[in-house]
Amino acid sequence: MPRDTIARILDIEKEAVAITADAEREAKQLLAEARRDSEKLLAEANSTEQVAQIIAEGKAQAQVVRERILAQAETEIQQMEETAVDHLKPAVEFVLNRVVGA
């Protein structure tokens, strides 16, 4: 084989080695970037789940408090109604006595 051909083959081999090294370096960089991105997405997903859990717990606690307040309000309303009924009879008697003049 002529020297030119051998030199050309060696140049092509050097170029192939350089291209392979560049490709491997780029593949490692892409893999590292993909790992970072996946870790970031996983952290965001965990954060989203935590936020959803906190919101759900807050809603449940708010519901318990709401139900307690409503029960207390209903009890107070019932007591006020009973008091009003108790005061109604004497009030009617008072008005009738004033009207009739007794």
Per-residue pLDDT tens digits for 29-69: 999 999 999 999 888 888 888 989 999 999 999 999 999 99
Confidence of residue 99 (pLDDT cuts 50, 70, 90): confident
Q: Where are the domains of the chain?
A: 1-72
Distances (CA, A) of 40 to 36, 50, 52, 85: 6, 15, 18, 67
pLDDT of residue 100: 86
pTM, two decimals, is 0.50
Provide the percentage of residues in the chain whose pLDDT is more than 90: 51
CA atoms within 13 A on the CB side of 40: 6
**pLDDT of 102 over the 70 cut:** no
